Amino acid sequence: NAGVTQTPKFRVLKTGQSMTLLCAQDMNHEYMYWYRQDPGMGLRLIHYSVGEGTTAKGEVPDGYNVSRLKKQNFLLGLESAAPSQTSVYFCASSLGGAYNEQFFGPGTRLTVL
């Protein structure tokens, strides 16, 4: 199993450009999550999904959109990138429930100039 994979690993954008980050998992997990991590900080939840076709807002959703068209994929979109969105983005997945752990991807380092 590949676990949770993220594409791309690195990206540099100019202010105003758009891009989509892809997260894929092969563990048949219902729940998927997008977090961002700024230097020296813990992870903050952007959006999450509790199943195919569903999405919900997390702590810091502004400026991002998500889609979960297939169970194994969770896409994070930036329509008009801003320097404040420079961060490392982590995707995670789980079976759900307080007794199941989350599995994290390796992260995407995004810089917005």
Partner 1 sequence: DAKTTQPNSMESNEEEPVHLPCNHSTISGTDYIHWYRQLPSQGPEYVIHGLTSNVNNRMASLAIAEDRKSSTLILHRATLRDAAVYYCIRCSGNTPLVFGKGTRLSVIA
Minimum CB–partner distance for residue 112 and partner 1 (Å): 20
Q: Which is nearer to partner 1, 14 or 62 (CB)?
A: 62
In the complex, minimum distance from the CB of residue 85 to partner 1, in angstroms, rounded to a whole number: 19
For residue 28, the tally of other CB atoms under 10 A from its CB is 9
Closest distance between partner 1 and the C-beta of residue 53, in Å? Answer: 17
Report how far Cα 90 is from the mean position of its chain's Cα atoms. Answer: 5
The rounded distance, in Å, linking the Cα atoms of 113 and 99 is 41
Cβ proximity to partner 1, 78 vs 90, nearer residue: 90
Instruction: Give the tokens for residue 46.
Output: 């952007």
Minimum distance between the CB of residue 73 and partner 1, rounded to whole angstroms?
18
Binding site for partner 1 (CB under 8 A): 4, 31, 33, 35, 41-45, 48, 50, 58-59, 90, 92, 96-99, 101-107
**How do 108-112 and 10-13 pair as beta strands?**
parallel
Contact between 66 and 49 under an 8 Å Cβ cutoff? The reply is yes
